[in-house]
Structure 1
């Protein structure tokens, strides 16, 4: 017993009582004598007995647990979303069970099964970038388990128990590219992730529409799509761009890691940032304030997204099954302008 958690059964055996009597004694029921209660409490304290809150909740038909599934817990964005989720869930008396898919749809399916077998009261999920078959989410919807997508969502996936919270990724990209144009950039490249993922599709469209609105052509040779947009893909894409006869004078990436890769290559080749090439990322990772120069990026309202996702899920928990679907919540992005993209002010100072 010393190597494991003491149970009600252990207490009952040691005291020669029934498990139900021990349980009622711990709950201070009137049908158990004070003497018996004292014996039970003394042994419980001696053995450091702790009640199994999950088992008790399940007996009441409530697990008070939410399942949270993210693609990964590296970087700045998803840890901050999870922090927002955990903080908001705790305020309402819920625990969270956190899993990561590692951008693998098969692992994502296993985690959804785990949540359902664990009898979570709701699921919050951001899709893996390899997910294109959504049958495992159909199963969640069919069981009427509250389901809230955040950041990476299934567009058009609806139901009385389904909702979503997203950033206006289109607007964030549009603002970022417009800022580069306002700084005098005319040949702007983009590093994007796979377009079947909503955030990449919307950021790419924001890039395209910003060019069009400012009378600039879309140059296919300046567009790079990657299965996994990260430091390595950003490095590779930048090297390819800089081999062109007419290289770009700016790069916008839908991920901060990719733009840091681009910055490293630019410096290796003796280019000045932002004078020779201006750079803007997306996510506002913590390291964007530590690079040299500091990195302009779009803030994704990560913690606010997590809190909002939990509030939506709790609304779903308390709505009748016949209620109409809750509309997705769209958060507004914020462009954080730093030194990697500001050209005009530098010229004015010189």
Structure 2
């Protein structure tokens, strides 16, 4: 068996072209760039060899020589479900329009992986970083380090509250308003014992949605019953577990508001198993407008998070900070949520949306 050439799969470099042609690297570089000082014959020889050897210029190295990488870093907790993939899509589309590439990393909700990814992005000399931090992140010193290096940072969805500077921005949904609207809607449907499934309150989105829940109850003169609030990492399985626990209570809730759609779907599965009707016995509402919410039976009331718009807006804010010509702290950008009423919560015949 013939030995494989160890260089066979190596990318052809400009040095390879220069060595093969017996020219200097600078002459080959100028020929590829079409400089007038290089003869047409030389240009033709260089271009022909470059084509034969499938030479591709290293755009990143060239950009770095110019002092720019033309790359934005993106750090998200995960790229599963609906929300983060849609946000990342918005980021990629807007970044391309602005002339940037994107480098995407996911922390898998692990703060240690988040730190490693942040280091990776800085080593890649990205021109700015867009971040939604892990739900296990309690100490934000690693983001302070990025801020001190004057690398533009834009937090989206999950933000680091209190971090300021002319290189720190944020784009969030008005989670409080979204939760307030959902709970107000449930009250308007006649619900009075409304359970709430919330994620950990050290994460801003969970804290704001929980506060929206509490204030909606108070403003509509509905009692706040602490035993109806469950705190856990929100997903399909934990939503089901929490619903089973609530069904063991002496007095059942008449509605459930979950801070994400997966937990709401888990609750609906349990209610169906127990023979309880949604929404007649217990109404259910979620948050996020995941794709599956129009496929559940009944379809799930939820809040649209403006995913694509959030990604686009985050890039626009980041790009404005990259020139480094302003010492003004960017204003936080807050997007308006949209309540989507579907059959899982609609009890009254005059409720039509």
TM-score range, shorter chain: over 0.9
Partner of 1:165: 171
Listed as ranges, the gaps of 5+ residues in structure 2 are 1-6
Q: Give the 3-state SS of the residue equivalent to 1:344 in structure 2.
A: coil
Selected match of 1:344 from 329, 343, 348: 348
Please state if 1:320 is matched with 2:325. yes
Partner of 1:145: 151
Partner of 2:53: 47
Please state if 1:72 is matched with 2:44. no
Partner of 1:222: 228
Partner of 1:11: 17
Inter-partner Cα distance in structure 2 for 1:156 and 1:168: 17
Partner of 2:36: 30
Q: Kindly report which structure 2 residues correspond to 1:1-350, keeping only aligned pairs within 5 A, or say none.
A: 1-226=7-232, 228-321=233-326, 323-345=327-349
Q: CA RMSD in A?
A: 1.3
Inter-partner Cα distance in structure 2 for 1:45 and 1:241: 69
Inter-partner Cα distance in structure 2 for 1:346 and 1:331: 29
What is the CA deviation profile of residues 141-188 of structure 1, one whole-angstrom value per residue up to 9, with x for unaligned ones?
101110000000011211110010000000000000000000010100
Deviation at 1:28, TM superposition (A): 1.1
Deviation at 1:272, TM superposition (A): 0.6
Q: TM-score, normalised to structure 2's length?
A: 0.96
Pairs aligned (count): 346
Inter-partner Cα distance in structure 2 for 1:121 and 1:294: 43
Deviation at 1:2, TM superposition (A): 3.9
What is the CA deviation profile of residues 213-270 of structure 1, one whole-angstrom value per residue up to 9, with x for unaligned ones?
11111111100001x2111110110000011110101000111000000000000000
Inter-partner Cα distance in structure 1 for 2:261 and 2:351: 26
Deviation at 1:346, TM superposition (A): 8.5
Q: Give the 3-state SS of the residue equivalent to 2:349 in structure 1.
A: helix
Deviation at 1:319, TM superposition (A): 4.1
Q: Give the 3-state SS of the residue equivalent to 1:251 in structure 2.
A: strand
Inter-partner Cα distance in structure 2 for 1:33 and 1:346: 81
Inter-partner Cα distance in structure 2 for 1:347 and 1:270: 25
Q: Give the 3-state SS of the residue equivalent to 2:271 in structure 1.
A: helix
Inter-partner Cα distance in structure 2 for 1:318 and 1:41: 36
Inter-partner Cα distance in structure 2 for 1:87 and 1:279: 34
What is the CA deviation profile of residues 285-322 of structure 1, one whole-angstrom value per residue up to 9, with x for unaligned ones?
0000011110000000000000000000011113425x
Listed as ranges, the gaps of 5+ residues in structure 1 are none
Inter-partner Cα distance in structure 1 for 2:10 and 2:174: 49
What is the CA deviation profile of residues 24-48 of structure 1, one whole-angstrom value per residue up to 9, with x for unaligned ones?
1101122322211110000111112
- Name which of structure 1's ranges 141-150 and 14-23 shifts more when overlaid on structure 2: 14-23
Deviation at 1:347, TM superposition (A): 10
Inter-partner Cα distance in structure 2 for 1:53 and 1:320: 26
Q: TM-score, normalised to structure 1's length?
A: 0.97
Q: Runs (4+) of structure 1 moved beyond 3 Å? A: none
Inter-partner Cα distance in structure 2 for 1:138 and 1:9: 41
What is the CA deviation profile of residues 100-141 of structure 1, one whole-angstrom value per residue up to 9, with x for unaligned ones?
010011111111111111000000000100111111111111
